[in-house]
């Protein structure tokens, strides 16, 4: 007999009425960076009141742990347990309709964050796993051992000077650099234009007078390094002639298979690539 679904009833504003905490008997089998909360009796309700909390866990020892998407964990794994273990996890999730579901077994646990992105749990047997990338974002595992999530956004007439703040204010992310040809080609596939120089801003600056000096290559996202994406076939230097050139991924249909070029930044782009590093 399956354990009954426990719905935590909360007095919540009407604007948050679709968000609930779903409690089941279970434990966190894997998950780094938990925050500790002192009052285990309100473990789930306090998680609900924290915008960044995505999961709470009250193990049998009456401790309380909160897990935040802001910590950008690479994965969190939850396993269902029996009632006798007295271990309870609570998923923050969207519930559609006006009534609570009778059982959790067929539910899709999904949480919306302030940027309007969502995180979804994947159910396999009696366990759930959370991919560190938000829904619709793509994960790349880089050769230096780090993993990143990125997504390309169409933002009409985006000036280079406004690009970094767009990612931080709109998506709680950063303008991300390209660490490989594979990454820049993926971004290139997201471009929907036939113009030769239609492009999206990515992180990275270098000096081109007129030849580009790769020793001046600089990234500000905090986790991109190297010039692996700037190969002779993937990087179109163009005319150069500026002290500081800004990297972009562009259509460049006239110089295939190139996907990247340096830009003076004087003309706006059609969008931007945002991203963040996963942590484990």
Quote the pTM value. Answer: 0.87
Given a contact cutoff of 8 angstroms between Cβ atoms, the answer to whether 219 and 206 are in contact is no
Residue 267: predicted pLDDT:
92
With a pLDDT cut of 70, the percent of the chain lying above it is: 90
Average pLDDT over residues 239-259: 85
The neighbouring-strand residues paired with 277 are: 148
> Which of 2-6, 7-11, 162-166 has maximum average pLDDT?
162-166
Residue 147: predicted pLDDT:
97
Least confident interval from 8-17, 120-129, 163-172, 182-191 = 8-17
Average pLDDT over residues 183-210: 91
Q: Is the pLDDT of residue 238 over 90?
A: no
Residue 3: predicted pLDDT:
44
Given a contact cutoff of 8 angstroms between Cβ atoms, the answer to whether 248 and 195 are in contact is no
What backbone torsions phi and psi does residue 237 show, to the nearest 5 degrees? -70, -30
SS3 labels along the chain: CCCCCEEECCCCCHHHCCEEEEEEEEEEEECCCCEECCCHHHHHHHHHHCCCEEEEEECCCCCCEEEEHHHCECEEEEEECCHHHCCEEEEEEECCCCCCCCCCCCCCCEEECCCCCEEEEEEECCEEEEECCCCCCEEEECCCCCEEEEEEEEEEEECHHHHHHHHHHHHCCEECECCCHHHHHHHHHHCCCCCCCCEEEEEEEEEECCCEEEEEEECCCCCCCCCCCCCCCCECCCCCCEEEEEEEEECCHHHCCCCEEEECCCCCEEEEEEEEEEEC
Task: Give the Cα separation of 212 and 216 in Å (integer).
Answer: 9
Give ∠ CA 110-276-152 in degrees, rounded to 5. Answer: 80
Residue 8: predicted pLDDT:
43
Average pLDDT over residues 82-105: 85
- Summary mean pLDDT of the chain: 89
pLDDT in tens, 99-129: 666 678 778 899 999 899 999 999 999 999 9
On the CB side of 91, CA atoms within 13 Å amount to 33
Average pLDDT over residues 86-95: 94
Average pLDDT over residues 50-57: 94
**What domains are there in the chain, each with its CATH number?**
6-131 (no CATH), 138-278 (3.10.100.10)
Q: Is the pLDDT of residue 273 over 80?
A: yes
Residue of higher predicted confidence among 114 and 4: 114
Q: Is the pLDDT of residue 241 over 70?
A: no
On the CB side of 207, CA atoms within 13 Å amount to 5
Q: Is the pLDDT of residue 239 over 90?
A: no
């Amino acid at each position: 007999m399956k354990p009954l679904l426990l719905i935590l009833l909360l007095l919540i504003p009407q604007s948050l009425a679709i968000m609930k905490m779903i409690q089941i008997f279970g434990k966190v089998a894997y998950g780094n960076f938990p925050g500790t909360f002192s009052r285990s009796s309100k473990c789930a309700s306090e998680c609900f009141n924290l915008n960044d909390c995505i999961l709470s866990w009250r193990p049998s020892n009456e401790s309380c742990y909160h897990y935040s998407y802001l910590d950008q964990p690479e994965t969190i794994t939850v396993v269902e347990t029996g009632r006798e273990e007295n271990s309870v996890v609570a998923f923050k999730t969207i519930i559609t309709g006006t009534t609570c579901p009778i059982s959790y077994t067929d539910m899709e646990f999904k949480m919306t964050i302030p940027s309007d992105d969502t995180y979804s749990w994947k159910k396999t047997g009696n366990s759930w796993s959370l991919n560190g990338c938000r829904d619709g974002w793509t994960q790349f595992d880089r050769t230096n051992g780090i993993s990143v999530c990125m997504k390309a956004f169409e933002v009409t007439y985006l000036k280079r000077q406004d690009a970094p703040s767009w990612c931080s204010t709109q998506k709680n992310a950063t303008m991300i650099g390209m660490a490989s040809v594979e990454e820049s080609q993926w971004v290139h596939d997201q471009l929907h234009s036939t113009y030769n120089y239609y492009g999206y801003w990515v992180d990275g600056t270098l000096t081109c007078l007129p030849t580009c000096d790769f020793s001046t290559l600089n990234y500000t996202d905090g986790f991109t390094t190297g010039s692996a994406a700037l190969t002779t076939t993937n990087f179109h230097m163009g005319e150069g002639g500026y002290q500081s050139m800004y990297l972009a991924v562009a259509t460049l249909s006239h110089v295939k298979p190139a996907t990247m070029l340096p830009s003076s930044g004087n003309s706006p782009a059609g969008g931007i690539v945002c991203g963040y590093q996963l942590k484990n």
